[in-house]
């Protein structure tokens, strides 16, 4: 596999979101302080509440004394204000406002303590096994830790589950009316340097160093037109030495990922990777594939030498439901290294046959 560049950070992970493959990593499971990257989980719960209709973008939340007095990055809101949810979201994302974050947490959770419980429950549900939250904003607190791998999981799910809210992360400048004009610039420098970057979040404390979860979309030949033809990469960089360093090192990782790997479409959406025999069904075969197709990232120039093989249980016996997971597509390079193992699903439901058909297939299976 291609050798990643030297990256000046305590830990990092580069994920190809389009294919689900980790392209490079360093200390991806080492516990670290997330600083304001914590706000990705806060945003996840806020977006979930919006999606469920529990809150709306136009409703207002009050500002508690606790929110008003939060140290660190601020939106500069105070207890005299009733602030629309959408403005609090922008204040949390663009300005990394700890005051806005606490106001959102209290508004969605009812209390800060209850919201933190919800954060930890959601982390568990997403499979973030090495993450523990103690607050919604990311200030240093004992036991408040995560990993680069868990952050990549969270960021990916955030983008996939709430695509309608992802554009907030590409806002370069925002401030709430009446707050300081100088406090309007997104701290993610890559939004100003690279037009393909559209998020996501910065973080910094003395203990965590300078951190950045950055994501970019660039067009790729052969994947199709429009959004379907774009490849998204995500870099998680933790513990850089400065604001400029976290941006430069993240840019280095993203650029390397786009140049060192090619993206190859192996299966079109809905195309079958295999149509094996199925027993005791109304059909004799079942189509296995993926509704969205299969795309893999491979070292540059290796696309023509890929080999793929379907690994599945045998025999297959009806009924099998559409979407049911059955087997994997194992993709290897010419040299034999495994590039990816992609789960396959049933593309069309195969119902059980009648009593006679099932009995006849049972006899044939027994003879085999």
| Per-residue pLDDT at 368 exceeds 70 | no
Residue 258 has pLDDT above 90, yes or no: yes
Q: Catalytic residue, from 10, 73, 96, 297: name it.
A: 96
Compute how many other C-beta atoms are within 10 angstroms of the C-beta atom of residue 293: 17
Residue 356, pLDDT above cutoff 70: no
Whether residue 200 is preceded by a cis peptide bond, meaning omega within 30 degrees of 0, is: yes
1 pLDDT band, cuts 50/70/90, is: confident
Quick: pLDDT tens for 270-300: 999 999 999 888 999 999 999 999 999 999 8
> Of residues 10, 36, 201, 287, which has the active-site annotation?
36
Residue 227 has pLDDT above 70, yes or no: no
Do residues 238 and 130 both lie within one domain?
Answer: yes
The domain boundary, picked from 260, 291, 313, lies at: 260
Residue 287 annotated as catalytic: no
Percent of the chain residues topping a pLDDT of 70: 95
96 is catalytic: yes
Domain boundary (260, 280, 304) is at 260
- Within-domain flag for 2: no
Output the CA torsion sign for 220, 14, 200, 17. Answer: positive
For 192-214, write each residue's pLDDT tens digit. 999 999 999 999 999 999 999 99
Looking at the chain, the whole-number percentage of residues with pLDDT higher than 90 is 83
Q: Do 237 and 286 fall within a single domain?
A: no
10 Å Cβ neighbour count for 308?
A: 17
Residues 243 and 321 in one domain: no
66 close to 136: Cβ distance less than 8 angstroms = no
Task: State residue 353's pLDDT score.
Answer: 80
Catalytic residue selected from 10, 39, 90, 201: 39
Question: Over the stretch 165-183, which tens digit does the pLDDT of each residue have?
Answer: 999 999 999 999 999 999 9
Range of the domain at 315: 268-367
In a domain, 35, yes or no: yes
- Choose the final residue of a domain: 237, 260, 283: 260
Mean pLDDT for 66-90 is 97
Co-location of 245 and 274 in the same domain? no
Closest CA to 90 of 206, 146, 172, 208: 172
How far, in Å, CA of 250 to CA of 255, rounded? Answer: 9
128 lies in the same domain as 144: yes
Whether 113 and 221 share a structural domain: yes
In a domain, 68, yes or no: yes
Q: Residue 156 maps to which CATH number?
A: 3.40.710.10
> Residue 6: inside a domain, yes or no?
no
Instruction: Give the model's pLDDT for residue 350.
Output: 93
How far, in Å, CA of 42 to CA of 32, rounded?
18
| Mean pLDDT taken over the chain | 93
38 and 75 housed in the same domain: yes
Buried b (16+ CB within 10 A) or exposed e, 234-244: bbbbbbbeeee
pLDDT given at position 228 = 61
Cα gap 26→205, rounded to integer Å: 21
Q: How far apart are alpha carbons 11 and 239 in whole angstroms?
A: 7
Average pLDDT over residues 108-136: 98
pLDDT band at 238 (very low <50, low <70, confident <90, very high): very high
333's tokens: 């390079």
Q: pLDDT tier at 360 (50, 70, 90 boundaries)?
A: low
Residues in the chain: 368
Q: What pLDDT is stored for residue 222 in this prediction?
A: 64
Does residue 1 form part of some domain?
no
- Res 366 pLDDT > 80: no
346 pLDDT tier (thresholds 50, 70, 90): very high
Identify which of 115, 110, 117, 63 has the alpha carbon closest to the alpha carbon of residue 88.
63
- Any catalytic annotation for residue 56? no
Q: How many domains does the chain have?
A: 2
């Amino acid at each position: 596999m291609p050798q990643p560049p030297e990256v000046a950070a305590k830990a990092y992970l580069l994920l190809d979101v389009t294919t689900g493959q980790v392209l490079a990593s360093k200390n991806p499971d080492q516990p670290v302080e997330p600083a304001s990257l914590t706000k990705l989980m806060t945003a996840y719960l806020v977006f979930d509440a919006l999606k469920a209709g529990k809150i709306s973008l136009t409703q207002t939340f009050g500002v508690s004394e606790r929110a008003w007095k939060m140290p660190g990055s601020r939106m500069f809101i105070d207890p005299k204000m009733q602030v629309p949810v959408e403005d609090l979201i922008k204040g949390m994302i663009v300005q990394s406002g700890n005051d806005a974050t606490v106001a959102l947490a209290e508004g969605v959770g009812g209390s800060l303590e209850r919201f933190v419980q919800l954060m930890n429950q959601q982390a568990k549900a997403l499979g973030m096994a090495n993450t523990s939250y103690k607050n919604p904003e990311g200030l240093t607190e004992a036991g408040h830790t995560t990993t680069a791998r868990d952050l990549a999981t969270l960021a990916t799910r955030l983008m996939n589950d709430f695509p309608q809210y992802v554009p907030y992360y590409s806002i370069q400048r925002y401030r709430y009316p009446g707050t300081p004009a100088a406090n309007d610039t997104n701290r993610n420098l890559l939004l100003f340097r690279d037009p393909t970057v559209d998020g996501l979040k910065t973080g910094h404390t003395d203990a965590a160093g300078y951190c950045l979860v950055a994501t970019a979309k660039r067009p790729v030949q052969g994947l199709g037109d429009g959004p379907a033809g774009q490849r998204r990469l995500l870099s998680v960089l933790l513990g850089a030495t400065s604001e400029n360093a976290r941006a430069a090192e993240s840019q280095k990782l993203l650029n390397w990922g786009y140049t060192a790997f090619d993206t190859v479409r192996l299966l079109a959406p809905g195309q079958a990777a295999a149509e094996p025999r199925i027993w005791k069904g109304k059909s004799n075969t079942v189509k296995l594939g993926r509704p969205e197709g299969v795309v893999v990232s491979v070292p540059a120039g290796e696309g023509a030498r890929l080999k793929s093989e379907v690994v599945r249980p045998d025999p297959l016996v009806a009924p099998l439901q559409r979407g049911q997971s059955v087997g994997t597509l194992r993709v290897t390079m010419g040299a034999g290294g495994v590039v990816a193992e992609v789960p396959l699903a049933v593309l069309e439901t195969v119902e059980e046959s009648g009593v006679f058909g099932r009995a006849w297939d049972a006899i044939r299976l027994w003879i085999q």
